[in-house]
Amino acid sequence: MSGNGNAAATALARIQTDSVVATLKALYPGLQFEIIAMSTTGDKILDTALSKIGEKSLFTKELEHALEKNEVDLVVHSLKDLPTVLPPGFTIGAICKRENPHDAVVFHPKFVGKTLETLPEKSVVGTSSLRRAAQLQRKFSHLEFRSIRGNLNTRLRKLDEQQEFSAIILATAGLQRMGWHNRVGQILHPEECMYAVGQGALGVEVRAKDQDILDLVGVLHDPETLLRCIAERAFLRHLEGGCSVPVAVHTAMKDGQLYLTGGVWSLDGSDSIQDTMQATIHVPAQHEDGPEDDPQLVGITARNIPRGPQLAAQNLGISLANLLLSKGAKNILDVARQLNDAH
């Protein structure tokens, strides 16, 4: 088993991997699990915005190489780092129960108690995400948004020890997993900032043909999280979005309905298209199922979850993407890509 990250970045990756291992050990007390820490390109390139690097497998390539060579049997990722199309031979064999998917604001010590709305004019807010910057510039036009890279420790140190940033935006789930609940100064609601596809969920990547490992990790699937993330990933995939364009989502399951809200933004947030669709999907219990010819949906294999709800979730994501495309989303995304590539 592998968790990605170098020595400085591994804290969160290790915590995430440990949590998956702890669950597997409880389910399979007779099995031994060895954890191998590895670095990825995304961990090493810390001076360039992720959207500029142009590499779809920033946080996965080295780990998939180890999977391919049978050096490891499963890899734990933040699901939002996994592309919606995986290389041949790999699949996401489990999606664990999602933690809080929303973004959080961490304030410089002198601004503790403030909100983004009450920060002084021209305050600088750090984020490495085009998605966050586009939405928040639109909502909080009195603030300036500037790129900040590095692992969680590095970003928090830059915030606390330098005077450049008044606040930074991070994923709530990462802060909570690190035990830094006290640093969360504000949680951003969907009306302020929708989250990244898959944010807050962990994905376990395995070899697509390794039935023993697929069976082993398949019990980790959380049915509701799985269906929400299939819808989100199908939406992103059909839009052909990624980290180089501002695309965001919000999903909710209520009374047998899966609600998916999705949006695209121009880089400065001035132009956007958003909409919501819903589908009737009952969260299924896990069940035993036989192999299928092509079991993957948006890179995910879940043979122990009924196929019908998975297909319905995928169709919901595709339908919402088509709706946004019919309203002009492709033009917004094309311009955003061109501008991002030019800077």
Mean pLDDT of 58-71: 81
CB 278 within 8 Å of CB 258? yes
pLDDT at 9: 46
Q: Where are the alpha helices (DSSP H) in the chain?
A: 10-27, 41-44, 50-53, 61-68, 130-139, 152-161, 172-177, 211-218, 223-239, 307-326, 329-342
Q: Place 53 in a pLDDT band, splitting at 50, 70 and 90.
A: very low
pLDDT at 63: 83
Helix, strand, or coil (residue 320): helix
Q: Residue 47 — φ and ψ, nearest 5°?
A: -110, 10
pLDDT at 98: 98
pLDDT at 240: 84
Nearest C-alpha neighbor of 92 from the set 111, 115, 113, 67: 67
pLDDT at 126: 97
pLDDT at 1: 64
pLDDT at 2: 55
Cα–Cα distance for residue pair 46/58, rounded to 1 Å:
12
pLDDT in tens, 328-340: 999 999 999 888 8
Mean pLDDT of 197-223: 97
Residue 44 has pLDDT above 50, yes or no: no
CB 21 within 8 Å of CB 43? no
Q: Place 192 in a pLDDT band, splitting at 50, 70 and 90.
A: very high
Residue 236 has pLDDT above 50, yes or no: yes
pLDDT in tens, 102-156: 999 999 999 999 999 999 999 999 998 999 999 999 999 999 999 998 888 999 9
Cα–Cα distance for residue pair 122/115, rounded to 1 Å:
14
Active-site annotation holder among 43, 73, 81, 222: 81
Structural element, H or E, at residue 302: none
CB 204 within 8 Å of CB 74? yes
For residue 229, what are its two tokens?
């993330």
What whole-number percentage of the chain has pLDDT above 90? 76
More confident residue, 288 or 64: 64
Helix, strand, or coil (residue 62): helix
More confident residue, 59 or 132: 132
pLDDT at 60: 72
Nearest C-alpha neighbor of 325 from the set 209, 221, 236, 230: 236
Mean pLDDT of 182-210: 97
Mean pLDDT for all residues in the chain? 89
Q: Place 292 in a pLDDT band, splitting at 50, 70 and 90.
A: low
**Is 81 designated active site?**
yes
Cα–Cα distance for residue pair 21/26, rounded to 1 Å:
9
